[in-house]
Amino acid sequence: MKLLAVTALLLCTAALSGCKDTTFEAPPSDTVSACDAQFVGKWRLLTSDDNDDAYYVIVERGCKRWRFIEDGKDDAKTEQTVHLSFAKAGDVPLLLVKMDPEKSSANDPHARWSDGYMYLRYAVTGKTIRLYSVDNTHMAHLIVDGAVSGRTERVTREPGDKSAKEPNEKELHFKTTAHDELHNFVAGDSAEMARVARLENIFDTHDFYTLKPATDAEIFRAKKKPAKP
């Protein structure tokens, strides 16, 4: 559940549900900032269930560098491939996440549906920062209903998968299970992205990430290996 996987902070919020994501074609504003000084510091990244997994983020002055630490070691791949910036959709502050495409996707005609930004609404509460991802199920409904332009794709079973069970009535109509995939793409220019980001209930307020202040002693403490039997 390192940041690269947590977002899938983030092409796939698998830490909180099944593999679900929403990609926006453009930033929500022509004015995008490289930094919000409130993020500068040393943080522990927690999910809303406040589990014991230890993942840390160090944001250096001016947001010149974002370091992602797991088990006391830098996650160099995440640092090199995940790019973060800031913008506002009206008065809604957003952390924008853009990931480098996989080399294998160069000739993939579907790759264009993941070429964009993930949005996280954030709020500073005391000494912590909460990050709210998009409610992907709600977004899928909006796309299907025509309120938002783009594409939505739900995968509940692969062709030829003999092990998967048939969905029951409760699992239908976008009520995804832990094994579902739900991928949304919101299409349009910056003005349209800002409109969508300001729609009611776009961001999930139940499942969220928290950045909590951390010390060097916490961050660089290597994870203890279980004792041999």
**Residue type, position 95, single letter:** L
Tokens found for residue 169: 């009535």
Range of 98-102, 111-115, 132-136 with top mean pLDDT: 132-136
Q: Percent of the chain having pLDDT more than 90?
A: 57
Residue range 202-219: average pLDDT? Answer: 93
Q: Tell me which of 5-14, 23-32, 92-101, 194-203 is least confident.
A: 5-14
26 Cβ neighbours under 8 A, 6+ residues apart:
116, 117, 188, 189, 190, 193
Gyration radius of the chain's alpha carbons: 18
For residue 187, pLDDT over 80 is answered with yes
pTM of the model: 0.82
116 Cβ neighbours under 8 A, 6+ residues apart:
23, 24, 25, 26, 98, 185, 186
Distance CA(118)–CA(26), nearest Å, equals 10
pLDDT band at 52 (very low <50, low <70, confident <90, very high): low
For residue 56, pLDDT over 60 is answered with yes
Tokens found for residue 23: 């990609």
Predicted local distance difference test score (pLDDT) of residue 167: 53
> What digits encode the pLDDT tens for the residues 125-180?
999 999 999 999 999 999 999 999 999 999 887 787 666 555 555 444 544 444 57
Alpha carbon separation from 170 to 17, 118, 229 (Å, rounded):
16, 29, 43
> What digits encode the pLDDT tens for the residues 6-27?
544 444 433 344 588 999 999 9
Distance CA(187)–CA(200), nearest Å, equals 18
Question: What is the residue whose two structure tokens read 């992205």?
Answer: 193
Residue 102 phi/psi, 5-degree rounding, is -65, 145
Predicted local distance difference test score (pLDDT) of residue 226: 57
Tokens found for residue 104: 């294998």
Predicted local distance difference test score (pLDDT) of residue 102: 73
Predicted local distance difference test score (pLDDT) of residue 48: 74
Q: Show the DSSP H helices in the chain as ranges.
A: 3-6, 76-81, 136-145, 190-197, 216-219
Is residue 176 within 8 Å of 73, Cβ to Cβ? no
pLDDT band at 101 (very low <50, low <70, confident <90, very high): confident
Cross-strand bridge partners of residue 146? none
Residue 222 has what DSSP assignment? Answer: P
For residue 224, pLDDT over 50 is answered with yes
Is residue 138 within 8 Å of 111, Cβ to Cβ? no
Residue range 106-132: average pLDDT? Answer: 88
Residue range 26-31: average pLDDT? Answer: 94
Residue range 86-104: average pLDDT? Answer: 91
Q: Tell me which of 21-35, 61-75, 137-151, 173-187 is least confident.
A: 173-187
Predicted local distance difference test score (pLDDT) of residue 71: 86
Predicted local distance difference test score (pLDDT) of residue 181: 86
Question: What is the residue whose two structure tokens read 């793409």?
Answer: 185
